[in-house]
Structure 1
């Protein structure tokens, strides 16, 4: 299989990063806050962001051993954002497990998120490299944290807006999803080299695959096999989530089709089955909405955008020397827009 070497490398590197994560967030007192903070890291995941840190360091000729705590830092920042996002969205499951606030309550979940955020800076302080590079990593993390908040704020604003433009949506996911993957690649470059061209090439790579990742997620929500996806197809339509696909539809559809779409879009927000609502009927309505999106080529448009971004990401790596690490980064870009879940 094309991606088997990538999956093997991800698994190997995740073990090293997990050791650093659980060194930073151990089992200790007060038990409740540390149990809550460890909940998402213990759930696993591919550890894509820390993998990018390590591979970016190696791809520019650096020692990935020196980047392990930097890799842990970006994963802790990611998990912090998930805890708080789940509270804002009132999601009850994450990675197939109950969310932190569902188990420990909102107040303790906020504290657990704050603890994870503080551990990000503890991790940065442990990076065994030139202090000037550590300060630069700190600057990247700080600015990335700002972008994450800005992107999330835009996403929350979108909920109350009747429509969102393509430009607005792309700006939002650039912050909410692109910024942290950009940071992962950039930080790896900073630790591994003093070559600014290499660092900027990695930054561009990370930003593009970060945006592509979210756009492809939006596509999968409408076309994926439900069992592989792990949730009902069209859940974004049920919830009324504004995506690039919806933005494209709204910029191209006639008024009659928009009206039909909005009769369904967001009608089943919260996935709560009200009295008299039958799941088969919901599915039929969602299918009608998906057909309207297909009518204007909106799903294909988003898929092409994701693939173009992945191609741009790979092109930006051409300046780097040929290496196994660079090939893994290129393979990751392909996987992001070829995955089925």
Structure 2
């Protein structure tokens, strides 16, 4: 069912990549541009640019006119990954060493900044009317602001034992929802003047973005380790605040909360050389996962993600029926059916 969709994503990604890499060429200072090209060259699914281009088609526009705005969205996404990896001190991304691991923190910050500024260069190159270009710019700036706000909230959460469901949803709306929202909305702006269509795409994007992150959090606890590409329960090891954890703390009794907190975040740092056996860590993490299951917290989050996808696709019903609209609906459904 999804094979045809993946084929379309790959086909459109070729056009996006061509423009993207032309904006960050191999030039002096070589070290800066090498660092900036590191993640774009490592691949990535290009889902957000696909949303931009397909949203343009879904409202009757020409997707070719949306390529530079789609590139802008992908550049913003990559910039956020570079800076996120610095903040989280992650060592790998897309199967490669992270930018700061290869070129150091200072150069990684500059590479992220370059990707951010290049996004606005991409918008300036879009072959669309000036009033549409201004609105695309406004939409991308707003999403970038929300992205930073969401990330700031996530960092602040690290200092706390618990967060509420409401706080988590607000954080994730900014951190992942905003850029998906902007992707769909920008596509709509390029393709139409119909405000009802543009608003429908914006609603679709916001809900799909939030569902995407919630489903990621669910997979971290239930997925097959080989398909996931990392140990199951990594979020528990790191002490990551998710919707699942927020639900647990709002429903568990005090005794179970304390049992969970003994494991939650215990293995956030590097424990190599401390004589800790991986199998022992896994056993502790599985006990914590069992506590989350006991209170239905994983099922709760999975159901919220599915509901958000349903709400997203309901919003698209105001758009005329088309292949592009079907592709957006299918992409949303895949987000909560994927196994990795």
1:273 CA drift (Å): 2.7
Distance of 2:318 and 2:213 partners within structure 1? 26
Shift of 1:271: 4.5
Corresponding residue SS for 1:242: coil
1:146: which partner in 2? Answer: 145
Equivalent residue, structure 2, for 1:55: 54
CA RMSD of superposed structures (Å): 0.6
How far, CA to CA, are the matches of 2:11 and 2:309 in structure 1? 24
Distance (Å, rounded) in 1 between the aligned partners of 2:45 and 2:91: 21
Q: 1:136 corresponds to which residue? A: 135
In the alignment, which residue of structure 2 is the partner of 1:324?
Answer: 323
Q: Answer yes or no: is the 8 Å Cα contact 1:239–1:271 preserved in 2.
A: no
SS of the equivalent of 1:270 reads: coil
Q: Per-residue displacement from partner, 1:59-98 (whole Å, max 9, x unpaired)?
A: 0000101000000000000000000010011000011110
Show the counterpart of 2:185.
186
Q: What is the alpha-carbon distance in structure 2 between the residues aligned to residue 272 and residue 91 of structure 1?
A: 15
Q: Distance between the aligned counterparts of 2:109 and 2:266, measured in 1?
A: 30
Q: Report how far residue 198 of structure 1 moved.
A: 0.1
How big is the shift at 1:255? 0.2
Give the corresponding residue for 1:218: 217
Task: State TM-score, norm by structure 2.
Answer: 0.99
Residue of structure 1 in register with 2:38 after alignment? 39
Contact 1:238 1:271 in 2 (8 A): no
Which SS does the other structure have where 1:26 is aligned? coil
Aligned to 2:119: 120
1:68 aligns with 2:67: yes
SS for the counterpart of 2:337 is: coil
Once residues 275 and 266 of structure 1 are traced to their aligned partners in structure 2, the CA distance between those partners, rounded to angstroms, is 16
- The range that moved more, 25-34 or 67-76, is 25-34
Structure 1 residue 109 and structure 2 residue 108: aligned?
A: yes
Aligned equivalents of 1:244, 1:86: Cα separation in 2: 22
Indicate whether 1:308 and 2:307 are aligned: yes
| CA deviation vs aligned residue, 1:225-254 (integer Å, no higher than 9, x gap) | 000000000000000001000000000000
CA distance in 2, matches of 1:117, 1:129: 21
Q: Secondary structure at the match of 1:264?
A: coil
- Stretches (4+) displaced over 2 A: 270-274
Quick one: distance in 2 between partners of 1:137 and 1:18? 20
The 5 A counterparts of 1:1-341 are 2-341=1-340
* Secondary structure of 1:194 counterpart: coil
